[in-house]
Structure 1
Amino acid sequence: MSQRIYSNTEIQEKIAAAVKNLSDAEIDKFLKKSHSKTVFDINTPLFLKVPEHFTETEKTNAIKDEKGIIRWTWDYEFTRNGFVYAINTQWYARNDEYVQRWLQSLE
């Protein structure tokens, strides 16, 4: 088995830090499955966006997909314009190079 470039936690931390410098429009692109697939080769949107007023229960329910599987985490959440964003948790070795390329493109 090959060594991973990043752990899932490192990916989430690095992306959460990097988005602070992105525009609202760029962040909103990552709410779409197609854009997230193109950039990171992931099968769900990079971010999940909910209103800031959501209760903890509503936030917990929101991060589950239609099958009840948790796909996002609030561990690295960020807030913008009255909304809170959760980040994708589904990262595999095949995604590492995509993440690395994206992070380098922001430098």
Structure 2
Amino acid sequence: MSVSTHVLDSVVGRPAAGIAVRLFAGEELIAESVTDHDGRSRLTEDATALGVHRLVFATGQWFAEQGRDAFYPEVVLTFSVAEPGEHHHVPLLLSPFAYSTYRGS
């Protein structure tokens, strides 16, 4: 299973570059990354197990580095992998006091 993400700052309408992201399978850390200039990160190309996975975004640190207050110190997106051979793209639409996500392609 490959896992990627794309983070957009919905307040300024731009990619959120420089956010630290961690991928977990259960409690095991699988990969760590930082979003690139386009707000994207490909966390792994390696096969992982069936089951629950989490993406953890260090949003509080990122907002603080920009001198912006934020309500969420981190955003945790939990998703279930039923088909390990498929690509899983999990975007994050971010603002200081709200966020949303969806299963991308």
TM interval, short-chain normalised: under 0.3
More strand by share: 2
- Normalised by the size of structure 1, how large is the TM-score? 0.28
Q: What's the TM-score, normalizing by structure 2?
A: 0.28
Higher helix share: 1
